[in-house]
A and B are shown apart, each in its own frame.
Chain A
Amino acid sequence: MRYAFWPGCVSKAGTPELYPAATAVAEKIGMELVELDQANCTGAGVLGERNEELVDTLNARNFAIAEQMGLDTILTICSTCQGVMSAVNYKLREKPEYLAKINQNLAAEGLEYKGTVRVTHMMWAIVEELSLEELGKMVVRPLTGLRIAPFYGCYILRPRYVLGMSEHPDRNQYLEKIIETLGAEPIDYEGKLKCCGFPIMTLNEENGLKMVSNHTLEAKDKGAHALVTPCPLCHLNLDEFQPKASSMSGKPINMPVLHLPQLIGAALGFNVKEMGLKRHIVSTDKFIEISGMS
């Protein structure tokens, strides 16, 4: 499959280990990614607070660029970008008059969004387009003995109606399915569908840190060796702020947080350096040891 690839801003800055890990895994599983290097930030939910038309225009610009390149599907590795893009695309495709208005904003650049683009996340594409069966065949290092806690993040789950959940109602179980396909055991716990707390870290750090400690400690209590997430912003919060959350709660946590491509890469035979596993704040050594990665 060939995709217009939008890596999102964070995969190259805040979590710089994600971009190389994701692109290496994509190549290995036969996903051809054509990067949208002219594309802009999707607004991450923040710009929409100020001006909805601005966010709709910025995202329509990205869609129009993908159309111009002859690509019908945008694939992203950022759940937040996926959520914002899906919501805008849903709105633009539902309301042709509004799309025409947004296209006027793009006319100066000679762009027009025709409404033909589909948005997907790498996690969805792996299950729906590659298939778990094919992924399973590529596993060379089954992650036997590892218990992994899925952490979805909000933007890939809600609101369901903009995320194609009527067509794919089991999208809230893909992480578990991928974890099983890779030979590991998924852990069930309440926090898996909740918020990581990232959007309020600058506004109410105490509440954000409580969310971090609640979810990581719950996963730890249930026996998880690591958490895995398809969202770089969840990763930022659950990994980067875990030491602070740990001191605030007064409990040691030490719960490694993996990006989804890193977990897949581990099973596909990549090494520690290729997956950037030493670049996290919370040590991933225990995971590396049990997985048998070199």
Chain B
Amino acid sequence: MDATFKIRRFDPEDKQDPHYEDFNVELPEYGSVLEGLLDIREQQDGTLSLRCSCKSAICGSCSMKINGESRLACKAMVSEIKELEGDLITIEPMGNMPVIKDLVVDMDSFWHKVESVEPYLQPKGPEPEKEYLVSNDQMMTLAVAMNCIMCGACVSDCTVLEVDSNFLGPAALAKAFRFAADPRDGAQEKRLEMYDQPDGVWDCTRCFMCVQACPKDVAPMERIMDIRSMAVEKGISKGRGMKHIQGFINGVKHSGRLDEFGLARKTYGFPLWPFMLAPMGIRRLLRKRLPPIFHKSIAGAKNVKKIFENLGV
């Protein structure tokens, strides 16, 4: 099987700007993108730089953008990509991190953020006499997040990090969940307060990029939502994110549908909401675009309310 790789090249010691170079490679039927890259480095251009180690989707070293999506090069099968996405395969370094050379990025900020969530158990009370047993169910919940191999694919594709490099990001927050949800940890409250801060869980825009990119099904965005739920549940989260959820629940619980006006009032609170909504209201009035002022319930709204009540919401 032959393939053409269009690779983004950059060498800081070279005067050239970043540019793309095409390479043709010959691969076995089930060849991976990584095998192709190593072949190029051995046979065609020894200066091509990339990171890799295990070639088995375990070490997490070879994350890069393949046709615009961050994936492990060793797990990306060339034949599948050619079939679904076309013959030319574009390969670029990960995003949201500075490029050092070719496909190698500087992951310092990635590691600092993981470190900042205190990714280690902090037990409370006297040391137990024997091993601490965690139930199967609890372990299964943790295992999802423990599957993370720190490859950086989620961070590379995160749409919030593109506009705000201070955001803790999906990898660090998935790791944060792994410790906040561990029954052996004694610092849960402190952790939730820490992750509830600006640049933490409430800055996620729920775009699913990290869910799609993760090669180990950690679904970091879902773990971020898990932390949000825990922080709301424990009464730690008192900000706009919590008010937004409460306002949303109120509207749907009592009318069966979203009450947009009521939601905005609840989220911003008094006396802020008139100031936040007035400019928008005037613009909308001029465009004959005011939403209905009196919120209408759906037929059967009572049944919806009962569902909320029966589930204790």
Contact B211 A46 (CB under 8 A): no
Report if A195-B240 is in contact (Cβ < 8 Å); known contacts: A10-B260, A108-B310, A203-B203. no
Q: Find chain B residues with CB under 8 A from A51 CB.
A: 229, 311, 313
Q: Are A54 and B307 in contact (CB under 8 A)?
A: yes
| Central interface residue in A47, A57, A203, A208, by most chain B CB within 10 Å | A203
Q: How far is the CA of A79 from the CA of B246 in the complex (A)?
A: 23
- Stretch in B96-104, B139-147, B175-183, B280-288 touching the partner: B280-288
Residues A47-78 near B (CB distance < 8 A): 47-51, 53-54, 57-58, 61
Check B291–A43 contact: CB distance below 8 A.
no
* Bound CA–CA A174/B301 (angstroms): 36
Q: Is A294 an interface residue (CB 8 A)?
A: no
Report yes or no: B300 in contact with A278, Cβ–Cβ below 8 A.
no
Say which residue of B167, B204, B291 sits within 8 Å of A14 (CB atoms): B291
Q: Which residues of A have CB within 8 Å of B249?
A: 47, 50
**Residues on the A chain within 8 Å of B163, using CB:** 207, 210-211, 214
Whole-angstrom distance between the Cβ of B79 and the nearest chain A Cβ: 15
Interface centre among A41, A199, A240 (most CB of B within 10 A): A41
Report the Cα distance A38→B203, complex, angstroms.
34
Encoded as 1 (CB less than 8 Å from any A CB) or 0, chain B from 193 to 226 comes to: 0000010001111111101100000010000010
How many residues of chain B have a CB within 8 Å of chain A? 60
Q: What is the minimal beta-carbon distance from B263 to any residue of chain A, in angstroms?
A: 9
Determine whether A289 belongs to the interface, using a CB cutoff of 8 Å to chain B.
Answer: no
For chain A, the count of residues having a C-beta within 8 Å of the partner chain is 59
Pick from B257, B288, B289: contact of A40, CB below 8 A. B257
Q: Is the CB of A290 closer than 8 A to any CB of chain B? A: no
Q: Are A105 and B207 touching (Cβ within 8 A)? A: no
Indicate whether A159 reaches chain B with its CB closer than 8 angstroms: yes
**Which residues on B sit within 8 Å (CB–CB) of A58?**
252, 304, 307
B244 near A202: Cβ-Cβ < 8 Å: yes
Q: Is the interface of B mostly helix, strand, loop or mixed?
A: helix
B298 sits at the interface (CB 8 A): yes
A39 part of interface (Cβ distance < 8 Å): yes
Contact flag A46-B287 (CB < 8 Å), given A169-B84, A204-B202, A214-B163: no
A109 on the B face (CB < 8 A): yes
Which residues of chain A have C-beta atoms less than 8 A from B283's C-beta?
240, 243, 281
B214 CB to nearest A CB, Å:
10
- Could you tell me if A40 and B291 are in contact, using CB atoms closer than 8 angstroms? no
Residues of A within 8 A of B257 (CB): 9, 40-41
**A82, B91: Cα distance in complex, Å:** 32
Residues from chain A with a CB closer than 8 A to the CB of B304 are 40, 58, 61
Is B30 an interface position by the 8 A CB rule?
Answer: no
Is A118 an interface position by the 8 A CB rule?
no
Which residues does chain B contribute within 8 Å of A195, judged by CB atoms?
A: 159, 205, 207, 209
Given A57-B307, A169-B84, A203-B244, A45:B206 Cβ within 8 A: yes
Cβ contacts under 8 Å, B205 to chain A: 195, 197-200, 207-208, 211
Chain B residues with CB under 8 A of A41:
251-252, 256-258
Instruction: Mark contacts of B122-147 with chain A using CB atoms, 8 A cut-off: 1 yes-contact digit, 0 otherwise.
Output: 00000000000000000000000000
Is the beta-carbon distance between B311 and A54 smaller than 8 angstroms? yes
- Which residue in A43, A54, A207, A240 is a CB contact (below 8 Å) of B164? A207
Question: Would A40 and B298 count as touching, CB distance under 8 A?
Answer: yes
Question: Are B252 and A203 closer than 8 Å at their CB atoms?
Answer: no
Q: Is the CB of A13 within 8 A of B291?
A: yes
- B212 and A49 form a contact (CB under 8 A): no
Q: How far is the CA of A38 from the CA of B68 in the complex (A)?
A: 42
Whether the Cβ atoms of B212 and A159 lie closer than 8 Å is yes
Is B306 in contact with A108, judged by CB distance below 8 angstroms? yes
Of residues 259 through 313 on chain B, the ones whose CB sits less than 8 Å from some CB of chain A are 260, 264, 267-268, 280, 283-284, 287-289, 291-292, 298-301, 303-304, 306-308, 310-311, 313
Whether B207 lies near A49 (C-beta < 8 A) is: no
Asked whether B66 is an interface residue with its Cβ less than 8 Å from the other chain, the reply is no
Question: How far apart are A256's CB and chain B's nearest CB, in angstroms?
Answer: 13
Chain A 10-24 against B: per-residue CB contact (8 Å), 1 yes, 0 no?
101110110000000
Q: If A40-B256, A43-B252, A202-B244 touch, does A109 touch B303 (CB 8 Å cutoff)?
A: yes
Interface string of A168-205 (1 = CB under 8 A from B): 01000000000000000000000001110111101110
Report how far A49 CA is from B310 CA in the complex, Å.
18
In the complex, whether B7 has a CB less than 8 A from a CB of chain A is no
Whether B229 lies near A39 (C-beta < 8 A) is: no
Q: B88: CB under 8 A from chain A?
A: no
Report A152 CB to chain B, min CB distance, Å: 11
Whether a CB of chain A sits under 8 angstroms from the CB of B248 is yes
Which of these, A16, A47, A194, A210, contacts B252 with CB under 8 Å? A47
- 11 intermolecular pairs with C-beta atoms under 8 Å apart: A14-B260, A46-B245, A58-B252, A109-B306, A158-B212, A193-B68, A194-B162, A199-B206, A200-B204, A208-B205, A211-B205
A-B interface, 5 closest residue pairs, ranked by CB to CB distance from nearest: A158-B208, A195-B207, A9-B258, A13-B291, A210-B163
Known: A16-B291, A106-B307. 20 other contacts (CB 8 A): A9-B257, A13-B258, A14-B291, A16-B289, A38-B299, A40-B298, A40-B301, A41-B252, A41-B257, A46-B244, A49-B225, A50-B229, A50-B245, A158-B207, A169-B84, A194-B159, A202-B264, A203-B244, A281-B284, A281-B287
Q: Using CB atoms and an 8 Å cutoff, list the residues of chain A in contact with chain B.
A: 9-10, 12-14, 16-17, 37-41, 43-51, 53-54, 57-58, 61, 105-106, 108-109, 154-155, 157-160, 169, 193-195, 197-200, 202-204, 206-208, 210-211, 214, 240, 243, 278-281
